[in-house]
Amino acid sequence: MTPKETRQRPCWFVRVLLLGAWAVIPWQVAWGDAPAQMLLFHSGKEGYARYRIPALLAAPDGSLLAFCEGRKDGGGLNGDIDLILKRSADSGRTWGPIERIMDDGDNTLGNPCPVIDRSNGTLWLAYTRSLGSDVENEIVKGTSRERTRVLITHSKNSGRTWSKPIDLTARLRRENWAWYGTGPGIGIQLKDGRLVIPAYHSVLPSGDYESHLIYSDDHGKTWKLGGTVGGNSSECQVAQRRDGTLYLNARTLRRTQYRTIATSRDRGASWSRPQFDKALFDPPCQAALLVLPGQKRPLWLFSHPAGPKRRNLTVRVSFDEGLTWPRSRLLVAGDAQYSSLALLPDGRLGCLFESWRNDNYQILFARFEKKWLLPASKSKIKPDGR
């Protein structure tokens, strides 16, 4: 579920630091020993009143793509919202102007979730569409004019041009599903070539949310619906372990403040009974998951607000494919919400994330070295967020 547009303000000393840093070093803020941050999507500038829902991906041509929603009306997940991106040719040191991917007039396009087919370099982008006049709560209750639809487009030139979108709703939305979300974040390609996009939906008439997958075994020609993870989960990311098992990590909506996890041994056709990972605090909020390739031992990264509430964006490290998360580094102090991680073309790591600053959501980008993340860290942020 996309969160309510709550006005979570940094505490007074954080706000002073922000103002001072921006005055001296435009577009960047330094937080102690944490990597420098670059303000990438500045709400109120470049044609949009608000930016939200980041997704970060290194494209086949070596460029770095930062996707998000451009909300012209400046509010929540309804009204006139476009899908946009910015491009970097130098692993995030500098960025070009906004490129508009999709615009459906006054309607709502949301939840960009890209995935690359490594066999041919095609970049796929799944997203959703609702009527601009319909709000999420109405859609979930079944009182809206329309239900959310799911679409996909692709690019063969690393996102410079995009195909005409294909509406997959008839194939990928069950009869009793109302709200639909892709990701948000990124999809993955399995070892056997299957393209996988994590997603979630609401169920009528209960209004419960569940996570699921959509996938393609023919390089995007057709897309099918995978299995569903039990209720009370929503926005999710997925990774594949070395033995082929799929691991799903989802936002938990009610009753607890821990992440929901499930596994699949049949490539996403069915899922284990969902469990709570008590090492991973959930405010609740979306989170990012990244598996680093080419490592002698597994190296998984997970970014999320470590709390309290949606504060203190932390990157955690797992050496056993998500069973434990023994190391962490504080990336952003203060308010920090949705995020997306990527291995940059130059070998560094990047995080695209939201933060409530100057009375609006902003989307920032941080670059950091693996050696910043991996040295022994005695983080003062406890796993339960307190």
Q: State whether residue 60 is helix, strand or coil.
A: coil
Compute the average pLDDT of residues 120-138.
97
Closest by alpha carbon to 214, among 178, 245, 179, 180?
A: 180
Reported as a pLDDT band with limits 50, 70 and 90, residue 34 is low
Taking the C-alpha atoms of residue 35 and residue 307, their distance in angstroms, rounded to an integer, is 19
Q: pTM for the complete prediction?
A: 0.89
Model confidence over 84-100: pLDDT tens digits? 999 999 999 999 999 99
Looking at per-residue confidence, does 201 or 379 come out higher?
A: 201
Q: How far apart are CA 373 and CA 319, in angstroms?
A: 13
Nearest to 213 by CA among 231, 201, 221: 201
Q: Which of 101-105, 173-177, 346-350, 378-382 has the lowest mean pLDDT?
A: 378-382
SS3 9: coil
Say whether pLDDT at 197 is over 60.
Answer: yes
In the chain, the domains with their CATH numbers are: 12-373 (2.120.10.10)
- How big is the chain, counted in residues? 386
CB 234 within 8 A of CB 211: yes
